[in-house]
């Protein structure tokens, strides 16, 4: 699978070192607060597991199954919530965790739904990657692992057609491996 990558952006050791730093920031900001982490699945699974183990705070976490790419390399513009029940976040500070901030459509939809259908004390966003590109929705991340160029990346939970998630690194997928 690595031979499908045009280049590697971040090796596992670099990712984990950055997660150590992010965990310290989050722990400082949420010390003494009732924290609930809501992860956007499936892409954030690796990020979720590795980051949460580094946060030395009592917290709750839950997952939301959401889809917006539908097999392509760009957001379809339509966000499908694949489950109807939202996590119990009433009266808690919420940190929404996602693998990547691209168009902003997914994170904006998740944030709006949590804020309108539940009663959180606050909602902030944490992403592993943030693409440097104009957003289609007005959303940004409060915690960012890495800023990257507007390229299609895989690995460390990020996929293309459900492949490459298990790579322990983040790399740019070669154009010849993307269906036209």
Q: Residues with catalytic annotation? A: 102
* Structure tokens given for 165: 């998630």
The residue with tokens 């154009």 is 175
DSSP structure string for 64-88: EEEESSTTSSS--S--EES-SPPP-
CA 165 to chain centre: 13
129-130-133 Cα angle (round to 5) = 145
* Structure tokens given for 63: 């997952």
């Amino acid at each position: 699978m690595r031979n499908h990558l045009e280049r590697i952006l971040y090796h596992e050791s670099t990712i984990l070192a950055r997660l150590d730093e992010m965990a310290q920031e989050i722990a400082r900001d949420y010390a003494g607060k009732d924290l609930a982490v809501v992860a956007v699945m499936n892409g954030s699974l690796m990020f979720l597991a590795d980051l949460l183990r580094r946060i030395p705070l009592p917290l709750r976490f839950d997952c939301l199954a959401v889809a917006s790419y539908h097999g392509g390399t760009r957001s379809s513009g339509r966000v499908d919530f694949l489950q109807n029940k939202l996590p119990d976040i009433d009266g808690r500070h919420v940190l929404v965790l996602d693998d990547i901030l691209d168009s902003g459509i997914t994170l904006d939809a998740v944030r709006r739904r949590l804020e309108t259908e539940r009663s959180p004390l606050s909602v902030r966003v944490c992403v592993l990657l943030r693409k440097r590109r104009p957003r289609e929705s007005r959303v940004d991340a409060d915690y960012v692992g890495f800023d990257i160029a507007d390229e299609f990346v895989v690995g460390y939970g990020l996929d293309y057609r459900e492949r490459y998630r298990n790579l322990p690194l983040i790399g740019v997928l070669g154009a010849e491996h993307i269906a036209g």
